[in-house]
Amino acid sequence: EFLWRNPDPKKSYDAVIVGGGGHGLATAYFLAKNHGMTNIAILEKGWLAGGNMARNTTIIRSNYLWDESAAIYEHSLKLWEILPEELEYDFLFSQRGVMNLAHTLGDVRESMRRVGANQLNGVDAEWLDPKQVKELCPILNINDNIRYPVMGAT
C-alpha cells in the first residue's frame, strides 16, 4: 500500500517519506525491494515525480566535499544507474556531467580541494585548465582581460 496523499493518521507505517519527487519515489522503491517494506506513506504536496524531475533540472551528483556525504551520494548515484532497467521504464536518466567554473584564486583552490577529496573517495572528478574548458565549451571566453576570467573548472 503506497499512499501519497492524506495517509491515515491512525495507521502505523513502516516508513513515511516526505517528498514524492524522484528521490522520494526511488527511496520508497528501494525500501520495498531491499527491506520488504510495503506499508509506506509518501507525503507530497504536488503530483508524484513532480518538481525537479518533471522540469528536467535535477542534478544527481556525488561530488560532495565530506567523506560521509560523498559515500552516500555515490552509492545513490549507482542506484540511479540501474533503476530504469529494474523498473523497465526509461525515465530519461542521462549522465552528462557538470562543469563548475573557477574565476578567482580562491575558487581555484576550493575547486582543486574538492576534486582531490572526490578522487580520494572514488568519485569521478577532474580539474580542467582554461584550454580544456574551452575545448569542452567553445562558446566560453577564456581571455585574461575580462571581468570574470575563467581560471579553470571542475
pLDDT over threshold 70, residue 2: no
pLDDT in tens, 36-87: 998 888 888 877 777 666 665 566 777 677 778 788 888 888 888 888 888 8
Record the pTM: 0.67
Please answer whether residues 18 and 43 qualify as being in contact, where contact means their C-beta atoms are separated by less than 8 angstroms: yes
Place of cell 533540472: 57
- In the chain, at which residue ranges do the beta strands (DSSP E only) sit? 2-3, 15-18, 40-43, 101-102, 152-153
pLDDT in tens, 90-129: 877 777 778 999 999 999 999 999 999 989 988 889 999 9
Q: How far apart are the first and last CA of the chain?
A: 43
pLDDT value at position 57?
58
Where do the structural domains in the chain lie, given as residue ranges?
1-57
